[in-house]
């Protein structure tokens, strides 16, 4: 009548205890899902607000292209750091990890430089809804980058411990790499929305074009 074999849960360790690395990986995917929902809703709100008659677009500061290049570089460095960590190549890992973190930090600096350029051009937070969305969206994305840098510093600290075994700590670097790629994708979509989306496109999407 009943099955005598145990259908094992696929995620448990040989001892029956859960694997912390897999759990962290799952949690990161979930967080990416939450953050994707968050930014998607903001973009929908941006598009809906754009339909109002007082909308006037703002010119994107050139610094955003530098920011984009820095985030692409950061993503590549972190990817490389992840693969070298898995391979156990500690000599290459450290510079790649540092470069990945530095590129992300420089991204935040470049974004602030872009903000300064807009402020100098008298484009302020409350003056124009396009500017309001620009500052809020870039700030929230920047906060996600800073959060990533906190996780990055924890990974770097784990790797610099004297007794650290590289393969055992490699998963932290891989998770950082995954998050860096996510930050890049979010930024690419945000930048495209901020620079390219127009009220005409929104009206077309809503069937009123």
Partner 1 sequence: MAYADTDDLHEHHEPQSFITKYVWSQDHKVIAVQYGGTAILVGIVGLVLSNLMRLQIGFPGVFEFINAERYYQFVTMHGMIMVIYLLTALFLGGFGNYLIPLMIGARDMVFPYMNMLSFWVYLLSVIVLMASFFVPGGPTGAGWTLYPPQAILPGTPGWDWGIILMLVSLLIFIVATTMGGLNYVTTVLQARCEGMTLLRMPLSVWGIFVATILALLAFPALFVSGVMMLLDKTLGTSFFMPALVSMGQVSGHKGGSPLLFQHLFWFFGHPEVYIVALPAFGVVSDLISVHARKAIFGYRTMVWAIVIIGALSFVVWAHHMFVSGMNPWFGFFFATSTLIIAVPTAIKVYNWVLTLWRGDIHLTVPMLFTLAFLLTFLSGGLTGLFLGNVSVDIPLSGTYFVVAHFHMVMGVAPLLVVFGGIYHWYPKITGRMLNDTMGKTHFWITFLGTYLIYFPMHYLGVLGMPRRYYNYEGYTFIPPSAHSLNQFITVVALFLGAAQMIYVFNLLWSLKYGEKAPSNPWRACSLEWFTPQTPPKHLNWGPKLPSVHRWAYAFNMPGSREDFIPQNAPASAGGAEPSQEH
Residue 37 touching partner 1 (CB under 8 A): yes
Number of residues that bind partner 1 (CB under 8 A): 43
Stretch that binds partner 1, among 45-53, 58-66, 75-83, 92-100 (CB under 8 A): 45-53
> Cα–Cα–Cα angle for 85, 86, 89, nearest 5°?
50
Alpha-carbon dihedral angle through residues 192, 193, 196, 199, given to the nearest 10 degrees: 170
Q: Closest separation between CB of residue 194 and partner 1, Å?
A: 15
Burial class (CB in 10 A: 0-12, 13-18, 19+), 162: exposed
What is the C-alpha separation between 6 and 205, in angstroms, rounded?
52
Q: How far apart are CA 146 and CA 135, in angstroms?
A: 16
CA distance 181 to 76: 9
CA distance 175 to 31: 12
> Residue 30, interface with partner 1 (CB under 8 A)?
yes
Pattern of binders to partner 1 over 142-181, x per CB under 8 A? Answer: ----------------------------------------
Smallest separation (angstroms) from partner 1 to the CB of 74: 24
Q: Does 8 bind partner 1 (CB under 8 A)?
A: yes
Q: Which residue lies nearer to partner 1 by CB, 30 or 195? A: 30
Contact yes or no for 104/149 (Cβ under 8 A): yes
> Per rule CB under 8 A, is residue 23 in the interface with partner 1?
yes
Site for partner 1 in 86-145 (CB under 8 A): 125-126, 129, 132, 136, 140
- Checking phi first, is residue 106 left (phi over 0); if not, alpha (psi -120 to 50) or beta? alpha
Using the rule CB under 8 A, give the single segment among 9-17, 145-153, 178-186, 195-203 that binds partner 1. 9-17
Distance separating alpha carbons of residues 168 and 41, to the nearest angstrom: 38
Residue 57 touching partner 1 (CB under 8 A): no
Residues engaged in binding partner 1 (CB under 8 A)? 1-4, 6-9, 11-13, 15-23, 26-27, 30-31, 33-34, 37-38, 41-42, 45, 48-49, 52-55, 125-126, 129, 132, 136, 140
């Amino acid at each position: 009548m009943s099955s005598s074999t145990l259908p094992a849960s696929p995620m448990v360790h040989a001892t029956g205890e859960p694997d912390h690395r897999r759990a962290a990986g799952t949690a990161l995917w979930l967080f990416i899902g939450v953050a994707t929902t968050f930014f998607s809703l903001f973009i929908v709100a941006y598009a809906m607000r754009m339909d109002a008659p007082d909308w006037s677009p703002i010119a994107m500061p050139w610094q955003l292209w530098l920011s984009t290049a820095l985030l692409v570089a950061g993503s590549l460095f972190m990817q490389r750091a992840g693969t070298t960590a898995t391979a156990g190549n500690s000599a290459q890992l450290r510079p790649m990890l540092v470069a990945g973190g530095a590129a992300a930090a420089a991204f935040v600096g470049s974004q602030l430089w872009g903000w300064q350029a807009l402020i100098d051009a008298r484009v302020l937070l409350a003056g124009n809804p396009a500017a309001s969305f620009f500052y809020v969206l870039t700030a929230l994305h920047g906060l996600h980058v800073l959060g990533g840098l906190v996780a990055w510093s924890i990974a770097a600290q784990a790797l610099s411990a004297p007794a650290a075994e590289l393969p055992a700590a490699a998963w932290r670097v891989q998770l950082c790499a995954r998050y860096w790629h996510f930050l890049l994708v979010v930024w690419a979509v945000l930048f495209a929305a901020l620079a390219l989306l127009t009220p005409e496109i929104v009206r077309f999407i809503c069937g009123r074009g």
